[in-house]
Amino acid sequence: MSRNPKLDQQAREILQRNDRGGYTVPTHGLYPFQWNWDSAFVALGFAAFDRDRAWQEIETLVSAQWDDGMIPHIVFHQNDDGYFPGPGVWGTGKTPPTSGITQPPVLATIVRALWEQEGAVAANPRMRALYAACLRSHRWFHSYRDPLGNGLVMVTHNWETGRDNSSEWDDALARVDTSGVGTYQRRDTGHVDAAMRPKQSEYDRYVAILQFGKNCGWDHREIADHGPFRMVDVGMSMELLRANRDLLVLAEAIGDAEGAAEIRDWIALSEAGIDWLWNEEAGAFCSRDATMLESSGLVTNASFLAFYAGVGSDTQRARLLEALDRLTTNAEYLLPSLEAGSREYDHRRYWRGPIWLVVNYMAAQGLAEQGHADWAERIRADSARLIEKSGFFESFSPETGEGSGGDDFSWTAAMWLVWCGK
């Protein structure tokens, strides 16, 4: 039972207001299209009061899946000049128009959750269709985004990680040539305070990476091998491993022996390769540059997804818990997206410090599953306190609890309904 029926109602109303008929925008104005991992978490929120609409959210997203299996990070279902970069800038030539990159592979995990909530019936046609889409998506990741052959996910644009301006990407972004970017008009800073968004110098690099992809016709092999940005992301590596575990449950349920064998091989590869991301000095799993082979050495909220992925030795998990405890010395609320005192930490600027409840949700779920119920509850309670204090914002300051970014945010509302408000 919810602790706050009034906030329950507000959360439902946010999802309904942001519903555009089959898909949900993250928030009005700032993000006027369908985003990949946003929709996955939004589906969990809808499932709390409208199960058909929950399935529909994901079905609409995967209807834009590319022939090669990639599920794009944005689907431009309708025109909106208030967003940059729009479909014309991406130039992917798809119908409906989409971006040319992907986002964190959390869909299989959400599909499993929806399916189990309805009794885990193997014949469920909606689950079976989405299983097939997720399997193709995971094949795409293992084909195009594992250049080192260790089961870890390399990203070719920082936007793919979902943690757009994390300090993890700074060194790699600094090497991106922006001389050919030209002029463009950002739209994000017209919707929210510029102090909460990436700086202009960073945005130029984001656009330069996009232009490389467009100029090579969105050839994912070319982009992976020769693109200007190649980072092995700790967050997506953990999320894909977890999603593969969940996809395996679905494969076994429907009797897809061939698919199950393929997924088991992916899981084994990732489990064997994950130590490549371990940074002994930081005491955490950290993102690494796939070109320079250097670790970021930064403890971020994504580092704690190791529990969610079910990886790490006893010693490594103990070090992660030490890092988690260390975060509490500077953070009034958990889980900051970057450890205070780290390079470019800023408690208000996007992914350089602010708390994001979907990462809190995954980290807390993993901690609970691995026997750390006290930490899981701390993160859940902090997440609830943030909403109770500041409302349904995109993100929150770990120091003050102040909301940042967009308001009436869909996935924050969903997290209240499905998790932290319970």
What is the spatial distance between Cα 143 and Cα 362, in angstroms, rounded to a whole number? 26
The CATH code that applies to domain 5-420 is 1.50.10.10
What is the spatial distance between Cα 255 and Cα 86, in angstroms, rounded to a whole number? 41
What is the spatial distance between Cα 86 and Cα 89, in angstroms, rounded to a whole number? 6
- Look up tokens 């949900």; give the residue: 24
Give me the catalytic one of 8, 19, 57, 164.
Answer: 164
* pLDDT reported for residue 97: 97
Angle at 187 between CA 16 and CA 44, to 5 degrees: 30
Asked if 402 is an active-site residue, the reply is no
Angle at 109 between CA 170 and CA 302, to 5 degrees: 25
Q: Give me Rg for the CA atoms of the chain.
A: 20
Beta bridge partners of 31: 27
User: Mean pLDDT per 10-residue run, the chain (422 residues)?
Assistant: 87 98 94 97 98 98 98 95 91 97 98 98 98 98 96 98 96 96 86 83 95 98 97 98 98 98 98 98 97 96 98 98 96 97 94 98 98 98 98 98 97 98 92
- Look up tokens 């130590």; give the residue: 275
CB atoms within 10 A of CB 313: 10
What is the spatial distance between Cα 350 and Cα 195, in angstroms, rounded to a whole number? 9
* pLDDT reported for residue 6: 97
Where exactly are the structural domains of the chain? Answer: 5-420
CB atoms within 10 A of CB 175: 12
The dihedrals phi and psi of 421, each to the nearest 5 degrees, come to -90, -5
* pLDDT reported for residue 1: 53
What is the spatial distance between Cα 160 and Cα 237, in angstroms, rounded to a whole number? 12
Burial class (CB in 10 A: 0-12, 13-18, 19+), 204: middle
What is the spatial distance between Cα 61 and Cα 23, in angstroms, rounded to a whole number? 8
The dihedrals phi and psi of 19, each to the nearest 5 degrees, come to -75, 125
Asked if 388 is an active-site residue, the reply is no
Name the DSSP letter for residue 194: G
Q: What's the predicted TM-score (pTM) here? A: 0.97
Q: Which residues of 37-63 are buried (b: 16+ CB within 10 A; e: fewer)?
A: bbbbbbbbbbbbebeebbbbbbbbbbe
The dihedrals phi and psi of 231, each to the nearest 5 degrees, come to -120, 135
| Residue 395 token pair | 């993100």
